[in-house]
Amino acid sequence: MPVLARAANVSSGGGPVMHSQRVHLIFWQPAGSGLVFESGYEQTIETFVDRVVAADHSTSNLFGLMGQYYDQSGPAAYDVSFAGAILDAEPLPTDSGSTCSEPLPPPLGTGPPGWNSCVDDGAIQAEIARVIRAKHLPTGLKDVYFMITPDGLGSCFGSGPSECADGGDANDGYCGYHSATGAPGIVYAVIPYNALAGHCQSTNPRPNGSTADPAISTISHELAESATDPLGDAWTDDSGNEIADLCITNYGPAIGGSGDTRYDEVIDGGHYWIQELWSDFSGACEPAAEPDRASFSVLARVRSQRGVTVTLAARARDPEGRIASYYWTFGDGQAATSYGVHVSHVFKRAGRYTIVLRTTDTWGNWAFATRRVHVAQANRGGS
């Protein structure tokens, strides 16, 4: 049964969180298997990750909620980068020791239609590790690898129907999962094909008109949980449910589109139908963090032989915490930047300059204030 949202807090088991998330996509299309990705499937997912990166540190979507979960070194902030995508043509393993517990469909087996082949978690781990070695890619708590598999490739991480990606029309399998290996310490997630009748998010709207739309909600789910519980010993409730598990059936109200094109999240202009995340702050599933507010005023302009000194004062508010830092840039080409609520800056030449204030809250989210300031000619000293 899916876990329903409820008013229960999650707590930390003392393990680490990911303070930033570098996303690697591996699209496994095994040579000789006949299993391929549908046209546009990979591009739709890559575009989604690009947009998540472009909206980095923002409260405009659900990933801004992650920063309320933390370890001794800081928050699991919304700080995502995209390391790229790999089309993996490695053939399927021939090892007969696979622990896939659901049978193949007829005529090869007696199971439901949908699977042509099946790989277990050990084979998936081995393939991710092989790609990492071959491409000389990094591992550790900054990198998360998404193994994405095509229609027809089943997978299992344990023994039993609920521990396998569903291959038929029964809604008893998983949509995806995340885990971590020992040495060399690989954080990874498995994203099987989700657009199967009656399974996962297959009946949800598809605002991008793609069979990848259901998988995108699963990628979102696993990205948030990898960040807040990468090793399985950080943020869960008393039953072991993570922040996306608690909201697995909760989607925000449609904010645009109609029918099958409805969407409940806008990420860098892209439209998506994505489940919410649990917020300990509000004790509920939420579609996004509350936005911070930032502004500033000019207190004084003082002219001297050095130039014009402009003194500024910031005002900012975070409705779900507090503002942790203030970062200023002044638009005059000087390398110098400033920090703090009250700052002064010397402009050496007259002109109009764009001053930008960026605030950071305790969850690692940003807010911006921008203002054009006119600086008159400085005094000319002489004897």
- Return the CATH number of the domain spanning residue range 293-375: 2.60.40.10
- The residue assigned the tokens 């790999």 is 86
Its pTM stands at 0.91
Distances (CA, A) of 314 to 116, 303, 356, 359: 61, 22, 11, 9
| pLDDT score, position 73 | 96
pLDDT for the residue 157:
85
Residue entry with tokens 């739309």: 213
* Whether residue 159 has pLDDT greater than 80: no
pLDDT at 381 over 60: no
Which pLDDT tens digit goes with each residue over 188-222? 999 999 998 777 888 899 999 999 999 999 999 99
Residue 200: per-residue pLDDT: 83
Largest Cα–Cα distance in the chain? 100
* 230 cis-preceded (ω within 30 degrees of 0): no
What is the per-residue pLDDT across 244-281, written as a single tens digit (0 to 9) for each? 999 999 998 999 999 999 999 999 999 999 999 999 99
> Over 60: is that where the pLDDT of 138 sits?
yes
Task: Share the mean pLDDT of the chain.
Answer: 89
pLDDT digits 0-9 by tens, 287-329? 999 999 999 999 999 998 889 999 999 999 999 999 999 999 9
* Between 35 and 183, the higher pLDDT residue: 35
Nearest Cα residue to 382 out of 303, 302, 305, 308 = 305
Residues with Cβ within 8 Å of 4's Cβ and at least 6 positions away in sequence, in order, are: 249, 250
